[in-house]
Chains A and B, each alone.
Chain A
Amino acid sequence: MNKKRVTRLAEYFFTVWVIVTLNFLLPRAMPGDPFLYLSSDVGEEVIFSEEQRQYYLAYYGLDRPVGGQYLSYMSELLRGNLGHSLYYNEPVSHIILRRLAWTFFLVIAAVILSTFIGTVLGSISAWYREKWLDKFLFFNLIIMSEIPAFLLGLVLLFSFAAGLGLFPLSGAMTHFAGYENWWEKVLDILHHAFLPVIALTIARTGGMYLLSRNSVITVLEKDYLRTARAKGLSEKRVIFRHVLRNAMLPIVTRVFLSLGSLVGGAILVENVFAYPGLGHLMREAVMVRDYPLIQGIFLVVTICVLLANFIADFIYGKLDPRVNDYSETYGG
């Protein structure tokens, strides 16, 4: 058992190494040059001379051989230094840390909401299995679950924000607003986050719903439940004590395993709402070829997803000794 865990850990480290190396190579293989400015954005002037380009290439060590760059990248990384952004002129870790908070906020809010709503609706559905309520929920939720989050986001943006004007069109908060108290600020942030979170939540809820419906049904069919009921335990207790607790395992695992695809959804949704999270930043970074920033974001995102997987692995191993390949059938 212990040896197995060590191998598992070694495997994770190998994965991290591959990702870090890929991470180093990919941006460098992209065509284009971070300091080449022939075009400028509409209505803008860029003044950047060839001499400056050379100066900056040397300044950031981008004119050195790739091998040397790789070594220094790795050693800096081990010391926790993600480098200095070429465009934003600031340590990459600072930029990412600030943006990460917004993305986390969206993702976590969506996870909590979708898990909660999905589980509740799933349990209801399972309880009333084959009744009209179950059919109604099932039909609606699977339709919603199949629409990608960014397409949902577009609808929400144009109907509620642009059309009805109920929500802001973009951004995460109002600036220079001079909030009177923290409560107002929280409301403002929630107001901005509402549509993106809803888009991500709706796209997510269907999956959680199906999963919890399935596991609750499975548990409901188990013998010990029949025994429990036969013993005369109240319905409420049956549900909370036995059903939900036993059905929770796949749900929790699923929550962690699904973070990877949720990140993908969040990137697109952030771009729909111009929400200042990592996804939005990533697109900007790719557009201006800010190598250190692209690398940093990519690394942070993958490590987070990896971590989530690790936790899922761990929880699953802990809760259920019969670890098997459960995830893949439901993954994606």
Chain B
Amino acid sequence: MPRKHLLIILVLVISASLLLFGCGSDQTRDDQNAGVASEEQGQVDVIRLEGGDWGYPSPYAHYPRGPGGFKMALIFDGLLERGEKGLIPWLAEKYEIKDNGKQYLFTIRDGVKWHDGKPFTAEDVKFTFEYASKHPMVWSDIGSDDIEKVESVGDRQVLVTVSEPNASMLYNLGQTRIIPKHIWENVDHPKEFTGPEAVTGTGPYRLTDYNKEHGTYRFEAFGDFWGPVQKVKVIEFIPVSEPVLAFEKGEIDLTGVSPDVLPRFQNNPAYKVVQSPGFWGYRLLFNMGDYPVLRHKELRQAISYAIDAQELINKVERGAAVPGSAGILPPDHVMYNSNVKQYNLNLKKAKDLLARLGYDRLDEKGICQNKDGKKLSFTLSVPDRAVRMAEVLQEQLAKAGIEIKVQSADTKTHDARVRNNEYQLAVLGHGGWGNDPDYLRERFGGLFKGGISPSASGLQGYNNQELNDLLEKQCLEMDEQKRKQLIFKIQEILAEDVPEIPLYYTTGYSVYRPDKYDGWMFMFDHHSLTHSKLSYLERD
């Protein structure tokens, strides 16, 4: 009797739970036809993209990561925007550089409205620069002492006087997101100011829904937008568990794909695959300050010759990257010099260079040493996600007789190590390689002056006077073409000196359905289609 009962209960429970969960799997949603393209000039009602919580999209509250900042940029405009080829006038109709780069005169566009209907004025611009100097924005392009003073000249002009002339200042000023004075003037803690009025901008889109817990955003085209027509009426960011699956099911309209998944989409007219320009890269740093042996140019060159960047790319990135250019600037950069010295894999040259430094014999383990028995053995610090790369580097350099010991830590610890110069060799991976080439000055100019972070890790023990002079000169050169010449020369010197080795720049793949929406574009210095504001607007 009792065994029967127990068994029945068990069976009941199991079947009940199976029923309960089993039903869940076949539920499908049928709201994908919400965004069928309207006939008119490739316009579309709704575009859905991969979401996730990147913070409240105000200039002070979003997380310091790309997806957060670019969502904010849909709402907030800069005086200038990043177009396909370079900076384009945006809130500023035109600008003038005066006094050899000491002053910038911006002429503000007329008839621009804030999302709350109030008119946008030169006063807002003045306020923004002053406010941003006091409270740095999450994406702060200007520091507290960069700007000497800001004056409004009449209703429609703003004159910015900078502390020191610098060719990259135009970019920095232009990129600063303009915030409305009437909303922000009484805000003391901008980071905690997250009310609905905190996302009032002049941009093409308004935030109509944000859910932090689920990481969803909904942006709707702003009717009174001054500029180009929004071709996408609504942009929705929805969190997806697996982007590729979600894209295949039509839940989202664009996704990044890894090379191994690419065959699913290639050779299919329904999909379009785009490879991103390489503006995100890894570089190998030498601590020349504390380890004098690294100050020998020949050693650094030898290491360059011993590294097979293509193998790194094939193994670590599965082919989705381009080898580093010894001149630092990536091939997709607007000022890239293609004629600098390059170091392709050449073990013979590497060994010759090492022999020239006196490291001409091998010990029993195959490590180079000089006549005093000093070995070429280094510790390579890497962030934990680059540990696979470190393993390949270890293998490659071993062939040239250089021993590498890998030391890895989580990203934060690694960053702290690099910053405090607690390393011999280190690998650092970050974006921003497409930015204004003034980052070369921050990296190699000898002096650590602060500045925008990824590049500004300071470089000790390296000093090349000719390079320093050129670096100083280029930032004072306001003429684009002349500056380009200087930057070209700088790349040549860098390629010869090898103060650091750019390993490769990643070029990921994006795939989308051209039938649905085909207006995607890259900004001239950035690698993501969805981050570009102009991707959603009409262009000629």
Residues of A near B66 (CB, < 8 A) are 40, 43-46
C-beta contact mask, A226-238 vs B, less than 8 Å → 1, else 0? 0000000011100
Cross-chain contact B411 with A90 (CB below 8 angstroms): no
CB distance from A112 to the nearest CB of B (A): 11
**In the docked arrangement, what's the CA distance between A159 and B37, Å?**
38
CB contacts under 8 Å to A, within B520-540, are 526-528
**Which of B256, B409, B413, B453 interacts with A49 by CB under 8 Å?**
B453
Query: B461 an interface residue at 8 Å Cβ cutoff?
Result: no
CB contacts under 8 Å to A, within B1-50, are 1-3, 5-6, 9-10, 13, 20-21, 23-25, 27, 29, 31, 48
Residues of B near A41 (CB, < 8 A) are 65
**In the docked arrangement, what's the CA distance between A175 and B21, Å?**
19
Query: B325 an interface residue at 8 Å Cβ cutoff?
Result: no
Known: A36-B412, A187-B27. A43 touches B143 (CB 8 A): no
Residues of B near A173 (CB, < 8 A) are 214
Q: Is the interface of A mostly helix, strand, loop or mixed?
A: loop
Cross-chain contact B1 with A236 (CB below 8 angstroms): yes
Cross-chain contact B56 with A39 (CB below 8 angstroms): no
Cross-chain contact A289 with B412 (CB below 8 angstroms): yes
Cross-chain contact A187 with B5 (CB below 8 angstroms): no
CB contacts under 8 Å to B, within A158-205, are 166-171, 173-178, 184, 187-188, 190-191, 194
C-beta contact mask, A98-133 vs B, less than 8 Å → 1, else 0? 100000000000000000100010011001100000
Query: A70 an interface residue at 8 Å Cβ cutoff?
Result: no
Cross-chain contact B413 with A46 (CB below 8 angstroms): no
C-beta contact mask, B55-78 vs A, less than 8 Å → 1, else 0? 110000101111101000000000
Known: A39-B415, A167-B25. A45 touches B432 (CB 8 A): yes
Known: A176-B236, A178-B29, A239-B2. A39 touches B411 (CB 8 A): yes
Interface size for chain B: under 10, 10 to 19, 20 to 34, or 35 or more residues? 35 or more
Known: A36-B415, A171-B239. A46 touches B453 (CB 8 A): yes
Of B133-141, B289-297, B480-488, which binds chain A?
A: B133-141
Residues of B near A55 (CB, < 8 A) are 135-136
Query: B191 an interface residue at 8 Å Cβ cutoff?
Result: yes
CB distance from B269 to the nearest CB of A (A): 26
Residues of B near A32 (CB, < 8 A) are 410, 412-413, 415-416
Cross-chain contact B136 with A175 (CB below 8 angstroms): no
With CB as the reference atom, state the residue of chain B lying closest to A191: B24
**Which of B29, B139, B280, B453 interacts with A42 by CB under 8 Å?**
B280
Residues of A near B191 (CB, < 8 A) are 59, 89
Query: A142 an interface residue at 8 Å Cβ cutoff?
Result: no
Cross-chain contact A127 with B2 (CB below 8 angstroms): yes
Cross-chain contact A175 with B216 (CB below 8 angstroms): yes
With CB as the reference atom, state the residue of chain B lying closest to A98: B213
With CB as the reference atom, state the residue of chain B lying closest to A113: B17
CB distance from A256 to the nearest CB of B (A): 23
Query: A138 an interface residue at 8 Å Cβ cutoff?
Result: no
Of B120-128, B335-343, B423-431, B495-503, which binds chain A?
A: B423-431
CB distance from A262 to the nearest CB of B (A): 20
**In the docked arrangement, what's the CA distance between A33 and B6, Å?**
58
**Which of B24, B67, B413, B456 interacts with A194 by CB under 8 Å?**
B24
Residues of A near B223 (CB, < 8 A) are none
Residues of A near B108 (CB, < 8 A) are none
Cross-chain contact B136 with A51 (CB below 8 angstroms): yes
Interface size of A in residues (CB-CB distance below 8 Å): 63
Cross-chain contact B20 with A190 (CB below 8 angstroms): yes
Cross-chain contact A166 with B6 (CB below 8 angstroms): no
Residues of A near B48 (CB, < 8 A) are 176
Query: B491 an interface residue at 8 Å Cβ cutoff?
Result: no
CB distance from B9 to the nearest CB of A (A): 7
C-beta contact mask, A16-60 vs B, less than 8 Å → 1, else 0? 000000000000001111101111111111111111100100010
Known: A33-B415, A51-B144. A120 touches B61 (CB 8 A): no
Query: A249 an interface residue at 8 Å Cβ cutoff?
Result: no
CB distance from A133 to the nearest CB of B (A): 9
Residues of A near B241 (CB, < 8 A) are 168-171, 274
Cross-chain contact B416 with A40 (CB below 8 angstroms): no
**In the docked arrangement, what's the CA distance between A180 and B331, Å?**
51
Q: Can you list 19 pairs linking A and B with CB atoms under 8 Å apart?
A: A32-B413, A33-B419, A37-B454, A40-B431, A43-B506, A44-B67, A46-B66, A46-B430, A46-B453, A46-B454, A47-B140, A47-B453, A51-B136, A51-B140, A167-B25, A170-B241, A188-B24, A190-B24, A191-B27
A interface vs B, CB < 8 Å?
Answer: 30-34, 36-52, 55, 59, 84, 87-90, 98, 116, 120, 123-124, 127-128, 166-171, 173-178, 184, 187-188, 190-191, 194, 234-236, 239, 274, 286-289
